[in-house]
Amino acid sequence: MQDVVGEAPVTGVLCFVDADWPLIGGDFMTRGAHVLGPKKLSKLLTRHTQPLLDVAEVHAALAARLPPA
């Protein structure tokens, strides 16, 4: 499942760094989360060409949605 904070897409990712990749036939998605290795994660993170949000804006949006521990 993907949520949007401002204009920044937020997606779950499991990245296996030292695994014998491809694991189970390569990268895949399960329950809305990407399961992949570092090279595919790099491509996923850089595929969006839109500018990133300001850190303070992202912090404020997360603080508004997540209760304090």
Query: pLDDT tens, 4-54?
Result: 555 666 789 999 888 777 656 788 889 989 999 888 888 888 876 566 667
Which one-letter amino acid corresponds to residue 13? V
Query: Which pLDDT belongs to residue 33?
Result: 92
CA angle 52, 57, 61 (to 5 degrees): 115
> What does pTM read for this prediction?
0.55
Query: Which pLDDT belongs to residue 52?
Result: 64
- Domain extent, residue 50, equals 3-65
CA distance 65 to 28: 29
Domain count within the chain? 1
CA distance 49 to 32: 22
pLDDT at residue 1 greater than cutoff 50: no
Q: What is the DSSP letter of 20?
A: -
Going by pLDDT thresholds of 50, 70 and 90, the confidence category of residue 64 is: confident
Closest listed residue to residue 36, CA positions, set 56, 3, 14, 54: 14
